[in-house]
Chain A
Amino acid sequence: MRDNTLKYLLVLPAVVVVFATAIWPLIEAARLSFTVGRLNRPGSLDQYLGWENYAWAFLEEPAFWNSVWVTAVYTTLTVGLTTILALGLALLLAPGGRLRSSAQTLLILPFAMSPALIGVSFRFMFNPEFGLFDAFFGVLIPPLADVSWLADPTLAFAVVVMADVWGWIPFLTLVLIGGLASVPRDTIEAAQVDGASGWRVFRDVTLPQLGPVLAVVIILKSIFSLKTFDQVFMLTNGGPGTATQTLSHYIYFNGMKYGQIGYSAAVAWLMVIPMIFLTYAYAKFVFRKG
């Protein structure tokens, strides 16, 4: 067998798997998004409807726009907070930083937890009757002890953001520690001798050289934030009301709960668009030449 043929044969299984599990569902979802697509109506999965599902989402559904808004705010907050906090931690933990590196091992633990588990445990911790935080506040800040964290729209949102930031900081920190380690020490020391203060060394020399790693981190975290589902599902189930309903949750609810497969396929496709941009940007940074 020629090397060339063998080459393609070896790649083929992977291509088949990706096609069957990712490409085909995408195509099928695109088809469904143009049908009536109701699970409780036989034949409706093939009943062509044109762009009506899309029009419905844009024009008739405040809940859609609500979930877009929730997702946007959620993504902005989680990406921003996680990146900033992880960068701070990485600076402390990096070689030559101020904390011993044994702390690095401890740090990875939250990331080892599944997002669903994080959701459940945070729900328990914030329970107003027997939650851990409730006990804490009872002793330290009594006025906060009786707050029903997950019943208030703003607070519930804050708790969801917090749980996500908590879960993601370790991974981002580790990546950034790696990034910091690859910044040549010479350049930092040169800046110190040249007369820069600690802050200016960071701003003028460390941060610009960390740029590509930081970009990858932000893009990656944005992708994960945009598609957040499990934590929301376990922690608040989108509530109270729709205060914490992300797009993924909205899609799931419409498709699985209300049986509106056609409509939820259309919304899912709307979500694919920013994802494609982000994935493209990510690939560009990761597979950058030089």
Chain B
Amino acid sequence: MAEIRLDNLTKRWGDFVGVDNQSLHIRDREFLVLLGPSGCGKTTTMRMIAGLEEPTAGEIRIGDRLVNDDLPKDRDVAMVFQNYGLYPHMTIFENIAYPLRVRGVAKSDIRPRVEKAAEQVELTEFLDRKPKALSGGQRQRVALARAIVRTPKVFLMDEPLSNLDAKLRVTMRAELKHLSRELQITTVYVTHDQIEAMTLADRVAVMKHGVIQQLGTPDEIYNDPANLFVAGFIGSPAMNLIDGSVKDGMFVTTGGTRLVKIDAQDRDAAILGVRADDMQVHEAGQGDIDVKIYAFENTGESTLLTVQWGRQRVIARGDRHLRKDQNDVVGISLNEDHLYLFDPETENRIRI
């Protein structure tokens, strides 16, 4: 059990900057998710913690120990790989036992520990099989069992659920959360899936172009995004971002519609962010403005209305019983308490 401290960590390959001078303090027993699109440096950051990638500059500490020059085997971490990284020529038992065997754990100790780990991930009946004979979800469990069979200082998980089908991913996500709460071991988890990040994390670090854009709890990331990128990345459907300006305490769209009251200084260019859930759908004439429906989607648990707003399209979430059709006109009003304003130049949030 240990905290992880990254100080001014940088990774470059020639001119390409993978991770750009980032510092991050991961607390003891924390579940930290590195979230971002592919190529944002999240996996590179994790691989540097594991020792599989050498930092160009900066320091990595696990516990009190500077580990920059330690080989992966000496860092006392366990890792779950995206493609599981199971040893195809070994049985499931041998796979799970490998970290113990290679670290010189007594033979008599290995069996009970492997069996306990297998039990925790519900794999007991497959111990004699080879990885090839297992399904994707089962292989994922083997990789997990191999990680938890000893008690490392740190768990590292590199997109562990991304190779599973959608349904299995939801199940495994819950199991992973359950397991991590039980084990209470510092975990770094890499994903590009914002739902995984929201559901699993104690804190999320959102990354882009090798830079951490925002570090915060899932609540903070969702309700208080630091900039345009975080706002657009988190949430499904993504936050609506509407181009316009602020004039006399009103947000005016580029098309000239005076949309909503906003408590900000006048400015020529601004982007208004509003989530689908913060837009109420009414009958025509009863909202702030009337708009035409571009597409109406019923997802079962709610309805999604894509509406045409001048040149832009915006998504609003409606009641699950709402039934409308393409080209119908509805009224829309915006929840004034949950509006976000961004500077289109710097992409930073303008605090209201």
> Which residues in chain B, 115-160, are within 8 Å of chain A measured between CB atoms?
146, 156
**B88 to chain A: which residues have CB within 8 Å?**
187, 209
* Stretch in A69-77, A119-127, A197-205, A257-265 touching the partner: A197-205
Q: Is B78 touching A193 in the complex (CB atoms < 8 A)?
A: yes
Contacts A192-B73, A193-B73, A205-B87; is A186 near B102 (CB within 8 Å)? no
Residues on B with C-beta less than 8 A from A195 are 73, 99, 102-103
B154 to chain A minimum Cβ distance, whole angstroms, is 10
Docked-complex contact B77 and A193, CB < 8 angstroms? yes
Q: Quick one: which of B67-121 are within 8 Å of A by CB? A: 71-73, 75, 77-79, 81-89, 98-99, 102-103
List, in ascending order, chain B residues with CB within 8 A of A205's CB.
87
Which of chain A's residues 142-168 have a Cβ closer than 8 Å to chain B? none
CB of A184 within 8 Å of the partner chain? yes
Q: Is the beta-carbon distance between B71 and A200 smaller than 8 angstroms?
A: no
- Shortest C-beta distance, A131 to chain B (Å), equals 47
B49 nearest CB across to chain A (Å): 10
Verify B81–A186 contact, CB threshold 8 A. Answer: yes
Q: Which residues of A contact B83 (CB under 8 A)?
A: 184, 186
| CB pair B85 A197 closer than 8 Å | no
- Report Cα–Cα, A38/B86, bound state, in Å: 63
Bound: A204/B102 CA distance, A: 10
Interface size class of B (residues with CB under 8 A): 20 to 34
Docked CA distance A146–B314 (Å) = 91
Interchain CB contact (< 8 A) of A194 among B84, B99, B156: B99
CA distance A128 to B73 in the complex (A): 53
**Cross-chain contact B72 with A186 (CB below 8 angstroms):** no
**Chain B residue with minimal CB distance to A198?**
B71
Q: Is the CB of B84 within 8 A of A186?
A: yes
**Which residues does chain B contribute within 8 Å of A204, judged by CB atoms?**
87, 98, 102
B85 in contact with A187 (CB, 8 Å): yes
Q: Does A129 make an interface contact (CB < 8 A)?
A: no
The CA of A205 and the CA of B101, in the complex, are separated in Å by 13
- What are the residues of chain A within 8 A of B146 when measuring CB–CB? 190, 194
Q: Are A189 and B81 in contact (CB under 8 A)?
A: yes
Kindly report which residue of chain B lies nearest to residue A188, judged by CB atoms. Answer: B85
Question: Is A191 among interface residues, defined by CB-CB distance under 8 A?
Answer: yes
Cβ–Cβ contact A189 & B98, under 8 A? no
Which of A187, A192, A211 has a CB less than 8 Å from the CB of B71? A192
Taken together as a complex, chains A and B put the C-alpha atoms of A41 and B352 apart, in Å, by: 113
The answer to whether B341 has its CB under 8 Å from any CB of chain A is no
Complex alpha-carbon distance, A211 and B88, angstroms: 12
CA distance A187 to B102 in the complex (A): 15
Which residues of the other chain, B, contact A193 by a CB distance below 8 angstroms? 50-52, 72-73, 75, 77-79, 156
Q: How far is the CB of A194 from chain B (nearest CB, A)?
A: 4
Q: Chain A contacts of B98 at CB under 8 A?
A: 191, 194, 196, 204
- From residue B105, how far is it (CB to closest CB) to chain A in Å? 10
A214 → chain B, closest Cβ, in Å? 13
A97 within 8 A of partner (CB)? no
Most buried by B among A190, A197, A205, A208: A190
Q: Which chain A residues border B86 with CB–CB below 8 Å?
A: 187, 190
Given the complex of chains A and B, what is the CA–CA distance between A197 and B77 in angstroms?
15
Residues of chain A within 8 A (CB-CB) of B75 are: 193
Query: With A190-B81, A191-B87, A209-B89 given, is the CB distance from A197 to B73 under 8 Å?
Result: yes
The answer on a CB contact under 8 Å between A196 and B81 is no
Bound complex: CA A194 to CA B72 (Å): 8
Q: How far is the CB of B135 from chain A (nearest CB, A)?
A: 17
A204 to B95, CA, bound (A): 11
| Closest chain A residue to B94, Cβ basis | A204
Min distance, Cβ A285 to any Cβ of chain B, angstroms: 16
Closest Cβ of chain B: how far from A213's Cβ, in Å?
A: 13
Q: How far is the CB of A67 from chain B (nearest CB, A)?
A: 40
State A249–B81 Cα separation when bound (angstroms).
Answer: 55
Q: How far is the CB of A183 from chain B (nearest CB, A)?
A: 10
**Complex CA distance for A191 and B97, rounded to whole angstroms:** 12
Contacts of B52 in A (CB 8 A): 189, 192-193
Partner of A196, one of B77, B79, B102: B102
Q: CA separation between A97 and B102, bound complex, in Å?
A: 23
Q: What sequence of 0s and 1s flags, for each residue 170-196 of chain A, a beta carbon within 8 Å of any chain B beta carbon?
A: 000000000000001011011111111
Chain B nearest Cβ from A98, distance in angstroms: 15
In whole angstroms, what is the CA distance A259 to B162 when docked?
A: 72
Taking CB atoms, residues of chain A closer than 8 Å to B82 are 186
A286 CB, nearest partner CB in chain B, Å: 19
CA distance in complex: A194, B86 (Å): 11
Evaluate contact between A190 and B85: CB separation under 8 angstroms: yes
Provide the residues of chain B in CB contact with A197, threshold 8 Å: 73
- A to B CB contacts below 8 Å, 27 in the list: A184-B83, A184-B85, A186-B81, A187-B86, A187-B87, A189-B50, A189-B72, A189-B81, A189-B85, A190-B79, A190-B81, A190-B86, A192-B51, A193-B50, A193-B52, A193-B72, A193-B75, A193-B78, A193-B79, A194-B73, A195-B99, A200-B102, A204-B102, A208-B89, A209-B88, A209-B89, A211-B89
The 7 closest A-B pairs by CB, nearest first: A190-B85, A186-B85, A194-B99, A192-B72, A208-B89, A195-B73, A193-B79
